[in-house]
Amino acid sequence: MTTVGQEQEQEQPTRPALEMVGVRKVYKMGDEEVVALDHATLMIGADEVVALLGPSGSGKTTLCSIAGGLLAPTAGSVVVGGQDITGYNAKRLAKFRQETVGFVFQSVNLVPFLTARENLLVVDQLGRRTGKAARDRADQLLEELGLADRRDNLPSQLSGGQRQRVAIGRSLMNEPLLVLFDEPTSALDTELGEQVMELIRTEMKSRGTAAVVVTHDERIVHYTDRTMHIVDGVLHA
């Protein structure tokens, strides 16, 4: 069964995973305006894994949120896998997020009262409901991520590294065109962080899925194809 293919016209697999043109994001805080992102223009290939490197507060999370359809830009256009999401309303954005992108957030990634496997399945259950296909995919992902024997554990019964692996599996459940990782290693020690980055690279490359890995850690760039730098909301590709 085709899942995300039809709308994205997958007959052109070389279409970029993400294109942003002149994207600007201004937060209004009372009278003050914070320009979190300014004139961001970038393109990420269909199977490219890109690092987004910048100091804290430079606009990395804002950029990812806009790319993933969580946040509407103040100006500019956003096209993901050929789908222009710029003018989407909240409902269409939710559907877009559900079908087209994968997320690994900086803080909360798992529902505490669901097991590892259920965390992978829950979004499909609440949305597309592909049933057995989703269950098979969840089992396959847990196997790949070395979590087969942990599938029935609750997040509280897992280590930090295991939780992060479950989150990675969850981000791949909907066969996304683009996965956005927001500081995926920041909560892990160096060794675990390297293992997780290795895993991210392997998983992306074996699927030919594009990814943006947000970090302020220089070492992570070894695992990516390319690095974009961002400082004070300005992107240096």
Task: List residues near other proteins by CB under 8 A.
Answer: 61, 64-65, 70-71, 91, 94-99, 103, 105-114, 118, 122-130, 154, 170, 174, 182
What is the chain written as a DSSP string? --SSHHHHTTT-TTS-SEEEEEEEEEEEETTEEEEEEEEEEEEE-TT-EEEEE--TTSSHHHHHHHHTTSS--SEEEEEETTEE-TT--HHHHHHHHHHHEEEE-SS--S-TTS-HHHHHHHHHHHTT--THHHHHHHHHHHHHTT-GGGTT--GGGS-HHHHHHHHHHHHHTT--SEEEEESTTTTS-HHHHHHHHHHHHHHHHHHT-EEEEEES-GGGGGGSSEEEEEETTEEE-
Which stretch in 56-64, 94-102, 121-129, 186-194 sits in contact with Mg ion by CB under 5 A? 56-64
| 27 belongs to the binding site for ligand ADP (CB under 6 A) | yes
Which stretch in 51-59, 87-95, 132-140, 160-168 sits in contact with ligand ADP by CB under 6 A? 51-59
Give the residue, chosen from 8, 58, 61, 100, that forms a contact with Mg ion under the rule CB under 5 A. Answer: 61
- Which of ligand ADP, other proteins, Mg ion, none binds 59 (CB below 5-8 Å, type-dependent)? ligand ADP
Name which of residues 61 to 90 contact ligand ADP (CB under 6 A): 61-62
| 185 belongs to the binding site for ligand ADP (CB under 6 A) | no
Shortest Cβ 62–other proteins spacing (Å):
8
| 119 belongs to the binding site for Mg ion (CB under 5 A) | no
Shortest Cβ 184–other proteins spacing (Å):
13
Contact (Cβ atoms closer than 8 angstroms) between residue 223 and residue 193 = no
| 36 belongs to the binding site for ligand ADP (CB under 6 A) | yes
Residue 28 tokens, joined? 């209004």
- Which of ligand ADP, Mg ion, other proteins, none binds 13 (CB below 5-8 Å, type-dependent)? none
- Which of other proteins, ligand ADP, Mg ion, none binds 54 (CB below 5-8 Å, type-dependent)? ligand ADP
Shortest Cβ 57–ligand ADP spacing (Å):
4
Instruction: Give the pairing type, strands 101-104 and 178-182.
Output: parallel
Residues in touch with Mg ion (CB under 5 A): 61
Residues in touch with ligand ADP (CB under 6 A): 27, 29, 34, 36, 54, 56-62
